[in-house]
Amino acid sequence: MTDALTGTPPGQDQGRRPGWLLPEAERHRGRVTDLLADLVHTPSLSTDEAAVVERLRAAMVDLGYDEVQVDPLGSVIGRIGDGPVTIVFDSHIDTVDVGSRDEWARDPFEPAILPDAGGGVLHGRGASDDKGGMAAMVHGAALYKELAYDPRVTLYVVGSVQEEACDGLALEHLLTKVLPRPDLVVLGEATRCQVFRGNRGRIEALIRVAGSSCHASAPERGVNPVYGLAPIVEAVRRLNDRLPSGPFLGPGTVALTKIECETPSLNAVPATATLYLDRRLTEGEDPDSALAELRALPEVQAVGATVELLTYEATSFTGIPVRQEKRFATWTTPADHPGVRAGLATGRDALGQELSLGRWVFSTNGVASMGKLGIPTIGFGPGDEVHAHTAHDQCPVDDLVTAVAWYAGFPSRFADTLTATRGPAAEEGGLL
């Protein structure tokens, strides 16, 4: 049963002042910062996440999770509760590589807390993308169990693998083969501690021009495909300038990310030339329409170039082979969805703050949970995505504490909102 005026179960949050969880989350400041530092210190490229998984598994056990397991692809899963309302907290635990070490002011795997603002900022690879979210979720769920536990809720906290290499692959496996279908997925990707509800989809594709190789001393004997590729490069640049812009997700984009040619030697004309593209898809666009658009470019047709979708193939650290086309759906969760409303309400209740709604510029595991599976998805995470994949990767420590409080307060607030949406009869009839 719920309170008739507040929709809150007896004893749940009644009489508590707005922002009540922030001082409680402060008790976790040192431990959540130490966990993030450990995660940053431990390299975890896609398919090589085993050490980070073990660190997270141990943390969940130490914090008193009801159950901790590792799924076949290697994602770590902690469970709290066994109620009918199912929520999945997901943060990916793999990172991109560091790139040129010359860009880094310090060792990317030796976390450093600098007095940049407030309680300091932790720097190191993965701090913003997405180990800060993971550390805060682990401790936020523990605080939820301690102070805000709701018997209506089953909460899963997931550290998913291989996101940087193939968005959504591991989370889709988990949601379709390991866990029951949840009512909501909450992503820990960086949102500056605001509530996000969507991101653009994308494809990774190549355009290849075939030529005829010959000795470079007599180039007229062959056909150099690089010259056929040159006008396509300019066509791609012009295409980016005329792509549509969505009302919420913003403009579609296309970026040339790599060019290569296949040649027998440096004194031979190449046999093929290939460029690689990252194409971001806004509202109204989809992977098939984006591929058709590339194939229709006059410059592509003029030289008989081929356009192909790339495929991701790898083996997880657990030894399981995976394969998936690199097509990722655009997604948004409606602004009036119970999950979105609960996210904003948690800001008022747990943090004493009015939060704003937004969306990610980069891609997230939401391309699988909402984009492919239709499971409502929102996001809340510490840090700012502008630092992702850069030599300035960082997460404010104050953001970690704020996120711990939000994650602790959200499950019960979501159950309240879901109850109010479906009606008290649903709860009394065991439908929640």
171 φ, ψ (degrees, to nearest 5)? -65, -40
Half-sphere CA count of 294, side-chain side, radius 13 A: 30
Bridge partner list, 206: 276, 308
Q: Is 34 a catalytic residue?
A: no
The CA-based diameter of the chain, rounded to the nearest angstrom, is: 87
Amino acid of residue 304: G
How far is residue 358's CA from residue 379's CA, in Å, rounded to a whole number? 9
In angstroms, the CA 72 to CA 284 distance is 35
* 94 catalytic residue (yes or no): yes
Q: How far apart are CA 313 and CA 91, in angstroms?
A: 22
Residue 198 and residue 189 in contact, taking contact as beta carbons nearer than 8 Å: no
Among residues 49, 94, 129, 183, the one annotated as catalytic is: 94
DSSP string, 382-404: SS-GGGTTSTT-EEEHHHHHHHH
- Helices 397-422 & 338-346 angle (0-180, nearest 10): 130
Catalytic choice (13, 163, 189, 427): 163
Token pair of 110, please? 């030796």
Q: How far apart are CA 8 and CA 55, in angstroms?
A: 36
User: Which stretches of 148-279 are DSSP H helices?
Assistant: 169-177, 225-242
Residues annotated as part of the active site: 94, 163
